[in-house]
Chains A and B, each alone.
Chain A
Amino acid sequence: MCYNKVVYIDYTKGFNGSKNFYEVMQMIKKEMIAMLLAGGQGSRLGVLTTHMAKPAVSFGGKYRIIDFPLSNCINSGVDTVGVLTQYQPLKLNTHIGIGIPWDLDRNIGGVTVLPPYEKSSNSEWYTGTANAIYQNLEYMESYNPDYVLILSGDHIYKMDYEVMLDFHKQNNAAVTIASMPVPIEEASRFGIVVTDNERRITAFEEKPAKPRSNLASMGIYIFSWNVLRDALIANKDESELDFGKHVIPYLHERNERMFAYEFNGYWKDVGTLNSYWEANMELIDIIPEFNLYEEYWRIFTKSESLPPQYIAKDSKIEKSIIGEGSEIYGQVINSVIGYGVTIGRDTVVRDSIVMNNTTIGDDCELDKAIIAENVTIGNKVKLGVGEEVENDTKPQIYNHGIVTIGEATKIPEGISVGKNTVIVGSFEASEFENAELPSGRTLIKAGEKQ
């Protein structure tokens, strides 16, 4: 465990050039601290990240994506976490607060939100993953760590970082990269590590055309502190300093001891709308591979004190999970429903994700839709009807037939919406031609950011 130790420095030997011979020095020390990268927009989640950074997007009925790495931290005994924020941080900041839900409100350590800040010279935004860490060297130094754990805020998984740290120590490694086996035909989508028999990394390939191994990097690193510090300082002038592109190749060149820690549990990058949808749907299997109901590795979140859910007479719920305080009068099949949601009478919700505090009227039919928070959908609305047509603006984001409804959207009564569509904004019935939005169309109210 990485709980704080207070180190008393032997003043007779001096410390860091301490001049005062009689000064008894006392210093905080954490064996390992975590730095969580949560500043990215996650533009491949489309309109879901218009008003919030990707780590703040809700997931699985009551969580937000950042809950998973934060819960992993506290469950692994890492009680000092710096969260690096930049893009649309309001929701993230409110969610994290002082870290109470994860027991990360500590006297020493705990969670600290680290936005970019102005300096006497060279003020800049976080320009890359490693640059963000570089700009917070002082924060890390204040805990005098032996190891630094680098995490990203957009993965769904449960992992004991302490086991990974043990692996790091055993190998006397400079860097350990968490990696997992993927099917070899998919390997060219990932950063691939090639290792020898002892798991020492011999080569590192970013999205190789012909992968030499099927071990994909998960974007989770443990660095020995002095290695990280020296590498960041040596490369500080690199533009958009990035771990995968610059820091790891730099250390590899210098022949530092780099090891691959193999992880075999559930791990899902929810970077695209389709993978986000899939990861949600995997939660509703009878015994899901990713099980939220396990006692020994709980996922914590900022739960508001909410009433139980009410399931009315003549409603039907099958293969679904439903959040607190929701009221269900219609049918919910194969779906993930957040908290505070109302689903009207004779409405059918199928294969969909409905986020917190959304209201859906009566007699609606929803198929394969992702509906963000605080949306209002009128009566007799149909989502996901007709043939699949490629999206007209961003087919690389809106695909797989998913209907995406942005935050706080209002859809009036009686509208039919096709597949691969996007709607954001508050609309009147007159703004729809023939009361429909055909498949593949994008409808974003003027003034709304895309």
Chain B
Amino acid sequence: MRAIGIILAGGNNHRMKELSRKRAIAAMPIAGSYRSIDFALSNMTNSHVQKVAVFTQYNARSLNQHLSSSKWWDFGRKQGGLYVFTPSITQENNLWYRGTADAIYQNLSFLKDSHEPYVIISSGDGVYKLDYNKVLEFHIERKADITVVCKEMEPAENVDRFGVVRMNEENRITDFEEKPIMAKTSTVSCGIYIIRRRQLIELIEKCAEEDRHDFVSDIIIRYRSQKRIFAYKMNEYWRNIATVKDYFQTNMDFLKADVRNYFFKQYPDIYSKVDDLPPAKYNVGSEVSNSLVSSGCIINGVVEDSILFKKVFVGNNCVIKNSIILNDVYIGDNSHIENCIVESHGTIRANSYYKGEDGIQVVIEKNDRYVL
């Protein structure tokens, strides 16, 4: 591969409410066994990108723990590998990353010291499979300065939380609006870009001189008529988890056979950190239907249309419906949980009742746990 990778995983947003309190969005657990950054990382390794930098900033503990070893994504190599860059104090700079472009600027030596001609930039919060080689071919063929991966959303879908693009017939982007009030098209940017390394260095340095810090508004939008910026249309599944509702829906998509087959059974695979957990155990009284269950779970109750992440314990006579239970949650006997997301490491006392009445309720319960 003639490119290096950058994964922007520093972000946080308040629309994720309580869920982002303890982790960056890129570390949000997805589909029972994964975290959102696994998708970008696996795409990098499956596209044979050998050298990948992850920029983190906001509450990176969870993310750093997840990335503690690069071997799960096959990045434990002498040549290239996985680099995690957090903001650091230097002679010239003692600021946090003030934006995505600033994050790249502060680590410009990573770009300058590489020799690969191209850079792939991806956000860490997209759930998708993509062969970046195809995007790169497109980029070279169109002689583009920047290629933005885009996706046509369903007309009914509200796109006001995305960057919305308009392009001409040869796919050149003519208009790019970030989070528009009234979207003019339903084509959105997936937050995945390809750009020549030297071009990127030049643009980022110029940006820094002008005290601008954001990759989208200060590079893509600002240069949209000067530079040849093209849109690569992706037709496969792509979702971005920006709100609690998105997050819930993205997870629930995995209960659909086509989405599950696409991610779980079709080549290439998505990789994640391997936990040595025993297989899931179903005791007498368990009644599970249309659900995903991860390793290390022990189930004694009813689970319907739900996703159980790793190491969830469901007590006797529990009923769990249309909910997401994150890692290592203990649910005491006779509890009822419906339309909820239960935050990880929680302990739900016996006989509890939670039901999201209008929309999804996020449940955070930090009770003492005595035995398991």
Contacts and interface: CB of A to CB of B under 8 A. Distances in A.
A310 interface: yes
B85 to A, nearest CB: 24
Main secondary structure of the interface of B (DSSP, over half): loop
Interface in A304-338: 304-325, 332, 337
B292 A318 contact: no
Nearest to B309: A308
Contacts of A315: 288-289
Contact of A311 (B274, B284, B288, B309): B288
Interface in B183-231: none
B32 A308 contact: yes
A100 interface: yes
B276 A101 contact: yes
B264 interface: yes
Interface in B259-275: 260, 263-264, 269-275
A293 B308 CA distance: 17
A320 B280 CA distance: 8
A60 B294 CA distance: 16
A324 B33 contact: yes
Given A60-B279, A301-B276, A323-B279, A293 B296 contact: yes
B172 to A, nearest CB: 39
B286 interface: yes
> What size tier do the contact residues of chain B reach?
35 or more
Contact of B292 (A60, A304, A310, A317): A310
B287 A316 contact: yes
Interface in A149-171: none
Contacts of B280: 309, 321-322
B284 A318 contact: yes
B245 interface: no
B282 A308 contact: no
Tell which of B260, B273, B307 has the most Cβ of chain A within 10 Å.
B260
A201 B82 CA distance: 56
A291 B285 CA distance: 20
> Which of A101, A314, A322 has the most C-beta atoms of chain B within 10 angstroms of its own C-beta?
A322
A60 B278 CA distance: 9
A319 B292 contact: no
Among B263, B271, B279, the most chain A Cβ lie within 10 Å of the Cβ of: B279
Interface in B267-326: 269-276, 278-284, 286-296, 298, 303, 307-309
A353 to B, nearest CB: 12
B24 interface: no
A309 B289 contact: no
Contacts of A307: 31-34, 260, 263-264, 270, 292
B71 interface: yes
A62 interface: yes
Nearest to B32: A308
B203 to A, nearest CB: 36
Interface in A283-310: 284, 286, 292-293, 298-301, 303-310
A316 B309 CA distance: 20
B78 to A, nearest CB: 15
B72 interface: yes
Nearest to B280: A322
A61 interface: yes
B276 A308 contact: no
Given A61-B278, A293-B278, A305 B269 contact: yes
Contacts of B260: 307, 310
A390 B104 CA distance: 73
A67 to B, nearest CB: 10
A322 B298 contact: no
Contacts of B276: 101, 298-301, 303
B261 to A, nearest CB: 10
A317 B278 contact: no
B269 A308 contact: no
Given A306-B33, A308-B295, A313-B289, A321 B281 contact: yes
A299 B279 CA distance: 12
Contacts of A60: 278-279
A310 B278 CA distance: 16
A286 B279 contact: no
Nearest to A335: B282
Contacts of B307: 308
A155 to B, nearest CB: 18
A292 B311 CA distance: 12
A308 B33 contact: yes
Interface in B27-45: 31-34
A290 to B, nearest CB: 11
Nearest to B293: A309
B272 to A, nearest CB: 5
Given A308-B31, A319-B284, A325 B264 contact: yes
A316 B299 CA distance: 13
A319 B283 contact: yes
A286 B284 contact: yes
Contacts of B298: 293
Contacts of A299: 276, 278
Nearest to B283: A286
A251 to B, nearest CB: 38
Contact of A305 (B274, B291, B292, B303): B274
A312 to B, nearest CB: 6
A322 B282 contact: yes
Contacts of A321: 278-282
A308 B279 contact: no
A314 B289 contact: yes
A324 B291 contact: no
Nearest to A67: B276
Interface in A259-296: 284, 286, 292-293
A68 to B, nearest CB: 13
B270 to A, nearest CB: 8
Nearest to B272: A305
Interface string A338-365: 0100000000000000000000000000
A325 B287 CA distance: 19
B282 A319 contact: yes
A61 B272 contact: no
Interface in A192-244: none
A308 B293 contact: yes
Query: Which of B33, B278, B295, B308 is most buried by chain A, counting CB atoms within 10 A of its CB?
Result: B278
A317 B307 CA distance: 16
Interface of A: 60-62, 100-101, 284, 286, 292-293, 298-301, 303-325, 332, 337, 339
Given A60-B278, A286-B284, A324-B294, 9 more contacts: A305-B273, A305-B274, A308-B33, A308-B309, A310-B292, A311-B303, A318-B284, A321-B279, A324-B33
3 tightest A-B CB contacts, nearest first: A308-B32, A61-B279, A292-B278
25 contacts: A62-B278, A100-B71, A101-B276, A286-B284, A292-B278, A293-B281, A293-B296, A293-B372, A304-B274, A307-B34, A308-B309, A309-B280, A310-B291, A310-B293, A315-B288, A315-B289, A317-B286, A319-B283, A319-B284, A320-B281, A322-B279, A322-B280, A323-B279, A324-B294, A337-B279
Interface of B: 31-34, 71-72, 255, 260, 263-264, 269-276, 278-284, 286-296, 298, 303, 307-309, 372
